[in-house]
Structure 1
Amino acid sequence: MSEKIPKYFINDLLCRTNIVDVIDSRIKLKKKGKNYQTHCPFHNDKTPSFTVSYEKQFYYCFGCNIHGNVIDFLINYEHLNFVESIEELSFMHGLSIPFEKNFIPEKNDYFKKQKLYLLTNQISKLYEKNLMLTSSAYDYLIHRGISKSMIEFFCIGFSSFTWDLFFQKLHIKKELETDLLNNKIISINKKKKIYDPFQGRITFPIHDKYGRTIGFGGRTIKEILPKYINSAETNIFYKSKQIYGLYQVKKKHLKPKYLLVVEGYIDVIMLTQNKIDYVVSSLGTSITKEQIKILFRNTNTVIYCYDGDDAGRNAAWRTLKITLPYISDEKTIKFIMLPENEDPDTIIKKEGSKNFQLRIKNALTLSKFFFKNILKGIDLSSSDDKFYLSAHALPLINSIPSDTIRIYLRQILGRTIGILDDYQFEKFLHQKTQKNKILQYKNKPTLMRTLIGLLIQNPNLSNLVNSTKQFKNSKIKGIPIFLEILKTCLEHPSFNTGQLLEFYRNSKIIHILKTLSTLDHMIVEEKIQNVFLDLLKSVYKKDLEKRQEHLISKERIYGLTINEKEEIWSINKKLKNSE
């Protein structure tokens, strides 16, 4: 119970939050009628099938069927867990989460995170101040060509060679030192001496999208290995999920046309200094799936620019293979191949900004880079080599979700090895037709599915139900769920669809409710109430008919009691009146 967030607070958050604003800040929405539409961010969407309803505070994709409220969107889009999505919404509204009674703040993840945000920000400020007090560190950055304005823009700092020197020079309070130790930002070695993992290093703060310091990269100013280190992972810092410099890019470009990915911190800083202000780093040469998703959430075109050595070239190919499953008709990648033993920092100093811009303009497209690399060492006059090529290329090509790009690359491969496949489009169209038929069959509406679906999508319909007594002993499948939803809607008259689904998030029926919440009933809005009432009557009539059939069957075999005869007479009368 110590970790539980009260339902009233979650409901209040949903009342305060406009799902349209949250989604529009991440994906550009276009008004269409009373709803909003865009291309679905969760699948390769050729026509806008992702719909967001302000009225229902609910989103739904007619292509891949993903759906939910604003909490579900953050979970699916930002890859957060439930509690993290609540934290995100709370932060947006400047609220603190009121946990239920008997919780211990020191043991609660939320409070641990807030403490870490505070401490990492405090030590970042200390590092920045220390840099200005340490001539050797400051001179190192100036020697590397980094300007004072960039030092300030990226909040660059320095950690002294010993903690004692750092502690005394900056007049750090003992209370802060204790907090830093308790949160493992600094440590005690075997000799019982306090040390900072970044001691003797230039520090590069890593910020989240809100500008909060969550961790650091560190670069030694002496010949000490490793040259670069990163913060250890904490509740707020996961290296595989962070992009260095993205916060700074977003300060200048809310929706950058493209993002240029480089390897190092200084690469990012030097290119930014040279007016190329859409540069980020993946905190090393090995990019992760989570980082690729973050990049594509912020731009449609990612350009990779790794160092011009074997490690950089290998990293570029490895990155291509990891990125392929996230390519779509809108989302694509390019590659800049630097000269031997050059990196972005050195090449821009030699060539200048204009020449580097030309490299960006002439970056290799996905297809050119793919075949340039996969054809290395291949003898196209050899049948064995052709077989080897197709065996290695096809699995990579098939991992691309975009049908158009996948077919295009297959055609290039076919021409390369001398095999032309003219039936791909016909096959593709046939598969699409069959898939649509299966979906239509699966989503075929029934009486109860339509009734429950209408209620979930329009909770205010509950006000039309005067009594539920007639359904008390009903045997119709789905009636218990309908009555349960009806009861909740009547108890919470202000609920919209998003809030209703949130209420049942952890219940056994949530999957049924989510499915029914997305049904397209093909009913014009003005007639929804009448259809709902007609369905109620139809369900009641169907219930009566079932009871009637049971009693008639019983009469033929066993006969009926006086009460049962009166009941069948009453049923007959009700059915006649309903005609």
Structure 2
Amino acid sequence: MSISPQWKDELRARITLSTVINRTTKLTRAGREWKACCPFHNEATPSFYVNDQKGFYHCFGCGAHGDVISWMTEQRGLTFIDACKELASEAGMEVPAPDPVAAKKAEKRAELIDVTTDAQGWFYDNLRSPDGRAAMSYLTDRGLEPETLAEFGFGYAPESKQALNRALARYDDQMLVETGMRIRTDDGTTYDRFRGRVMLPIQDARGRVIAFGGRIMESRDGVAKYLNSPDTPLFDKGRTLYNLHRASPASRQSGRVVVVEGYMDVVALAQAGFEDAVAPLGTALTETQLEMLWRMVEVPVLCFDGDKAGERAAMRAISRALPLLAPMRSLSIVRLPSGLDPDDLINRDGPKAMEELLSNPKSLLDALWEGERHAQPLTSPEAKAGLKARLMEHVDTIENRDIQALYRRDLLDRFSEFAFPKREPRSRSSKSRPGKQGWQDRNTAPQRLSQDARDILGRAMAGGQRASLLSAVIAGLVRHPDEISAHSEVLSRLAQLDPNAAPAIESLMELSETLDSHGPNAISDSEGLPAPPVNHQFAFLREGTSPGEAREELAEAVSLLAQKPALEAAMAATIARFDEDPEGALAEQVRLREQLTTVEERLKAFGRKKAGAPANAS
């Protein structure tokens, strides 16, 4: 019988761990977790904790740790298969039928792990032999202690193309090729992949050796400084995190996991007392690796070197993470001082300096803003507009709608504050009359809107049934004119796509140019701007609504208003190129129709919600 990792993940997701454990062990609530006296050893005070969100239990006294399956096997004494059957019955799942192909793969994997394990032993012994004297001197000169070298299994691959083949002669040469330690050429000959390198074993989450990393001791032209095993039946670099098997238990103690750029950074941090560090293996963080990190902690800390490459790596990681963000699931970012990696910083300033950085990381939102803000000079209006466009491109990739709206609001606020700084207030107009609501209450005397603009805005706010959302948005922006600049790009796009909306939007732009300060609103009587409605179904048009709530709802309304005509224009362009690329155009039409349907449903739901109707009303 073959139980796949995917099946086990589904089983764990359907079973509440605390419910299962509470049947035999009395649990009490402790914040987001549950606690009890450990059932695996005698104790007087609780040190056994259960975390339903992460799906594991852990005892800080005896170290017992596992998931719902291991609870059934270790505490109930069931076999693995019996545990799976009992839990599957409870979860309403079918236990997979026996799979001979999967069983054969598992057997093959076990055989290959035997090969890599024996190879690791050989590399380890080589470092401590006369042949490894130079490699050992290189490592000790780098400040690595004997205990660190032993803990991480440092070894040495001699400068020979056939040394491994001879040392592991009991294994077929094809097995050495399949593990990635030997290379087969086109003519069928084979030779050792790792030669003249300091070796580090790469282990899976269970601590089994599945691959290797090798580092040269002296720079040589045309020779890569670091060399990792290729992808093999044992090793998928996009699904593996170096040092995960050590960092997982350490992160449960620290409540943190630190991601650095390379495995030598992990080693340096561990020697300095930071045992909760992992690293990707020669590639940017993948979606799978991010999911692995989020299973450990809610907000992993990504630590990047203080150079240009580190800046680029940070932005790649941010871009990869944005679509995957979820409530209570994010990243934080640490940038090291310029030109330093973790080892350099620790050697120069000590572990305390590293701890201070890790204890005060930037949020993902702050890192995104700063990364794009400093990506290029912003000395012209066009460059500033480019900054806004890049920020909104990032925001559009966020799949969670609530998080997307919050990121959009925050980044637009930051952009507006940067691009449209407050001006010095001008003197009060001699025509201002005290006691009047509107411009007269503001600290400045703006220019008067043209009569045409006032008339257009008045008609737009009056609106009609067909244009109720547009009318509300226009009225909302008149009531909250400081929001016009924040949405100028979207409004300009809407004006291009919807001729009916263009006059009112142009008048809004004229209104925004008259603003000299951030007053409470722009409501005016007949002598100035037409007064927007109050006590409206939309929060941004009701008196007493908080500024934050008004801004958030108005931003959602503007976004929804612009999406449909944009999708309709994209659909028209796709239809126009059907003759040139019928297959691609057809696929694009299907995608756009789905998006249009989604937007139309959101528009209906938005209107019903604001009207106070049930979400499923027709």
Give the shorter-chain TM-score range.
Answer: 0.5 to 0.7
CA distance in 2: counterparts of 1:50 and 1:383, whole angstroms:
47
AA in 2 matched with 1:264: G
2:158 corresponds to: 160
Residue number in structure 2 paired with 1:417: 419
Is the contact between residue 178 and residue 233 of structure 2 (CA under 8 Å) also seen in structure 1?
Answer: no
Shift of 1:409: 3.1
2:121 partner amino acid: K
Identical counterparts, % of pairs: 24
Q: SS of the counterpart of 1:339?
A: strand
Q: Which residue of 1 aligns with 2:255?
A: 257
Could you tell me which amino acid in structure 2 is paired with residue 283 of structure 1? L
Conserved 8 A contact 1:206-1:244 = yes
Determine if contact 1:257/1:301 at 8 Å carries over to the other structure: no
CA distance in 1, matches of 2:10, 2:321: 34
Equivalence for 2:244? 246
Tell me the CA shift for residue 31 of structure 1: 7.9
1:156·1:203 contact (CA, 8 Å) conserved in 2? Answer: yes
Q: Contact 2:369 / 2:411 at 8 angstroms: preserved in 1?
A: no
**Other structure's SS at 1:258 match:** coil
The match for 2:334 is: 336
User: 1:204 aligned to 186, 197, 200, which one?
Assistant: 200
Q: Which residue of 1 aligns with 2:532?
A: none
The structure, 1 or 2, with the larger RCO (C-alpha pairs under 8 Å, 6+ apart) is 1
> Using a 3 Å threshold, how does the CA distance of structure 1 residues 15 and 408 change in structure 2: closer, same or farther?
closer
Give the root-mean-square deviation of aligned CA atoms.
4.8
Which letter does structure 2 place at the counterpart of 1:206?
Answer: I
Pick from 118, 121, 126 the counterpart of residue 122 of structure 1: 118
2:305/2:340 contact within 8 Å kept = yes
- Residues 25-174 of structure 1: pairs in structure 2 closer than 5 A: 108-133=104-129, 134-166=132-164, 172-174=168-170
In the alignment, the residues of structure 1 paired with residue 13 and residue 319 of structure 2 have an alpha-carbon distance, to the nearest angstrom, of 38
Q: Which whole-Å deviations, capped at 9, do the CAs of 1:418-469 have from their partners, x for residues lacking one?
A: 453664433559749759x999759x9xxxxxxxxxxxxxxxxxxxxxxxxx
- Tell me, in whole angstroms, the C-alpha distance in 1 between the residues paired with 2:327 and 2:185: 53
Match for residue 295 of structure 1?
293
1:279 match: 277
**1:95-494 equivalent positions in 2, closer than 5 A:** 108-133=104-129, 134-166=132-164, 172-175=168-171, 179-181=175-177, 185-189=181-185, 194-224=190-220, 225-254=223-252, 256-284=254-282, 286-376=284-374, 382-400=380-398, 401=400, 402=403, 403-418=405-420, 420=483, 423-426=550-553, 431=606, 441=616
Specify the alignment match of 1:525 in structure 2. Answer: none
User: For residue 474 of structure 2, what is the aligned residue in structure 1?
Assistant: none
Distance 1:163 1:369 in 2: 46
Contact 1:296-1:331 within 8 A present in 2 as well: yes
Task: Report deviation, 1:268.
Answer: 0.7
Using the TM superposition, give the Cα deviation of residue 407 of structure 1 relative to its aligned residue in structure 2, in angstroms. 3.2
The residue identity in structure 1 corresponding to 2:117 is N
TM-score scaled by length of structure 2: 0.52
- What is the CA–CA distance in structure 1 between the aligned matches of 2:54 and 2:373, rounded to whole Å? 43
Amino acid at match of 2:415: L
Shift in CA distance, 236/195, structure 1 to aligned 2, threshold 3 Å? same
Distance 1:191 1:158, change over 3 A: farther
Letter in 2 for 1:299: V
1:262 to partner: Cα distance: 1.4
Aligned length: 384
Aligned CA distance change for structure 1 residues 337 and 14 (closer, same or farther; 3 Å): closer
Equivalent position SS for 1:234: coil
- Is the 8 Å Cα contact of residues 178 and 232 (structure 2) preserved in structure 1? no
Would you say the 8 A contact 1:259–1:299 is kept in 2? yes
Q: CA deviation at 1:166?
A: 4.7
**Mean CA deviation greater in 199-208 or 423-432:** 423-432
TM-score by length of 1: 0.55
1:49 and 1:367 map into 2 onto residues whose CA distance is 28
Inter-CA distance 23–393: structure 2 relative to 1 (3 Å threshold): farther
In 2: Cα distance, 1:278 partner to 1:6 partner: 30
Q: 1:123 to 1:434 in 2, by over 3 A?
A: farther
Contact kept, 8 Å, 1:250 with 1:256, in 2: the verdict is: no
Work out the CA distance in 1 between the residues paired with 2:201 and 2:272: 21
Q: Report if the CA contact (8 A) 2:18-2:52 is conserved.
A: no
Give 1:127's aligned amino acid: F
Query: How many angstroms apart in 2 are the aligned matches of 1:174 and 1:371?
Result: 57
